[in-house]
Structure 1
Amino acid sequence: MKFGWMAAFGLAVAVALTGCATTIGRDYDQNRVGQFVSGKTTQDQVIATLGQPQEREMESDGTTRWHYQYIVSKNSLGDYVPFAPVKADTSGKDTFLYFDAQGRFLRAENNQSNM
């Protein structure tokens, strides 16, 4: 009877570990970036659409680069038990938006990955 309880506990721990996840950034709709019009869309409109960027950088030429990022890594039993066949499932998206000195959208660079 004692073995049955320990096996159930071990199974519960394994199931709990498979549900652990690490998240970086805040989710945003990367598809909506295609709606921005170069020279017309303002920074306020971008914020209304995507929310605040994770990072803002001013370039030497007066342009600004905003960075949106969202990464999710779901751990699996293979991350904790050697020789288990399954490892973490990681997916992410990065978007860099560039604005002129007047705060108008210039262009975007989108990246997505699934590992």
Structure 2
Amino acid sequence: MIPGAAAHSAPSATPTPDDAWRIQVMAWLAVVGRAARNPEMSARLSAGSTRLARALTAAIRLSTHHPLDQAQHDARALLALVEGLLLQLARHDITPDEASTVITRFVAATFTP
């Protein structure tokens, strides 16, 4: 999921997301920026995020048996974490391996019953 993470690159290289991936992230940011000024576009983005959060909530509840409110909170937190890491990767603030470690730790903590 993280472009340039160690699983997809040579061990001796310091992995960084490629230019095509970075352009995709910047395009996504442009869409998000435009949606902030366009209620219909904003509603569509929010609906997609809500569908993803519901799917994550179901997976968390199925795996951990956490109460619905906790699973919903964890799902939204995971989405926010991934979106923030994408921004940090696009700006070269973190490496793909660092992002992968952060996500792995969050998922491990979330999915531990």
Structure with the higher strand share, 1 or 2: 1
| Higher alpha-carbon Rg | 1
Structure with the higher helix share, 1 or 2: 2
Where relative contact order (Cα < 8 A, 6+ residues apart) is larger, the structure is 2
Give the TM-score normalised by the residue count of structure 2. Answer: 0.23
Give the TM-score normalised by the residue count of structure 1. Answer: 0.23
